[in-house]
Amino acid sequence: MPTPFESAERYIQLRSKYVPQTWGDTVLRVQDMILAPMLVVVLTLLGTGDLPMLASTLYRTYQAWSEWFELTTLRFEVQRMYLTAMKSGGPFITTNDPFYMPYVWADAEVRVNMHSSQGQGR
């Protein structure tokens, strides 16, 4: 199981890649995840596409969808860390850049876990 900071890091990486900043980013994402695989499959079935092109397109599509689902899962993980921080009276550190707030929530998660594990040892 990844640590809270590893989850926050991966979430920031995937969010940078998959959350569109512009309209063009959205078009590229739809093309990579939906349109290109459909087009290549149709071309292959019609006999004008080749198998290496089909394989590489389907692999890229599989990778894109896998990362998208991982981002969705990590979004819930970051939200859980945020709620843990709020419940414990945090956050305990701050950042001026909201892009890096998942690190703040990860810090709160680590601090709460350290505090609860110290209380169990007594």
Per domain, the residue ranges of the chain are 4-115
Residue % of the chain over a pLDDT of 70: 96
In this prediction, residue 122 carries a pLDDT of: 47
The whole-angstrom separation of Cα 95 and Cα 100 is 7
Q: pLDDT for 58-100, tens place per residue?
A: 999 999 999 999 999 999 999 999 999 899 887 888 888 989 9
Cα distances (angstroms) measured from residue 100 to each of 25, 64, 107: 21, 23, 12
Q: Which residues contact 50 (CB under 8 A, 6 or more apart)?
A: 44
pTM assigned to the model: 0.83
